[in-house]
Amino acid sequence: MDDTPDQGGLPPSLMFLKWLVIVLMVAMIGGVITIVSLLVTRMPDGSAVALPENLALPEGARAQAVTVAKDMMLVVTEDGRVLVFGRDGRLRQEITLD
């Protein structure tokens, strides 16, 4: 007593769309896994920069940012100064910011 005809599956255009969605889903999952793995493997572990032990800031200065270059280190202090140190830890120059 079943009067509905057998459809036989999806039309070809919908079948193509179904496979496009599946491929997109797999590509997105692969992209998320790649991004997460890159973030995990390239995160700094806190010991990326080895500062010299004899690097001493002037009295009362607190470091706000540190930049390490090839032959110098720049320390920006909270009171608006840029301290330029050599790789040996000796203070080369002090620049006051406005």
pLDDT digits (tens, 9 = 90+) for 46-82: 554 556 677 888 888 888 888 888 889 999 888 889 9
- For residue 27, tell me if it sits in a domain: yes
Reported as a single tens digit per residue, the pLDDT across 13-28 is: 899 999 999 999 999 9
- For residue 52, tell me if it sits in a domain: no
The pLDDT score that the predictor gives to residue 66 is 86
- For residue 70, tell me if it sits in a domain: yes
- For residue 54, tell me if it sits in a domain: no
Between the ranges 33-37, 45-49, 86-90, where is the mean pLDDT highest? Answer: 33-37
Range of the domain at 14: 10-45
Give the DSSP per-residue string, 24-43.
HHHHHHHHHHHHHHHHHHHS
- For residue 53, tell me if it sits in a domain: no
The predicted model scores a pTM of 0.50
- For residue 29, tell me if it sits in a domain: yes
Alpha helices (H) in the chain, listed in sequence order:
12-42
CA distances from 58 to 20, 21, 31, 49, 82 (A): 63, 62, 48, 21, 12
- For residue 38, tell me if it sits in a domain: yes
- For residue 89, tell me if it sits in a domain: yes
Q: How many domains does the chain have?
A: 2
